[in-house]
Amino acid sequence: MFGEESTSNFILPLIRISFILEDYKENKRELDKELERFVTLLNQLLPHYHTLLKKKDLSPDELQRLGDIEHYLLGVNAKILDIKGKLEQDLFGQSLHTYYKLKDSAKKGDVKAKVKLEKMRDGFIEALNAGDIINFN
Choice among 4-18, 23-37, 67-81, 122-136 with the minimum mean pLDDT: 4-18
Over 70: is that where the pLDDT of 65 sits?
A: yes
Choice among 8-12, 31-35, 120-124 with the minimum mean pLDDT: 8-12
Model pLDDT, residue 137: 43
State the pTM of this model: 0.55
Residue 44's nearest CA partner among 71, 78, 69, 75 is 69
> pLDDT tier at 16 (50, 70, 90 boundaries)?
low
% of the chain at pLDDT higher than 90: 37
The overall average pLDDT reported for the chain is 80
Q: Which residue has the higher pLDDT, 49 or 22?
A: 49
Model pLDDT, residue 133: 56
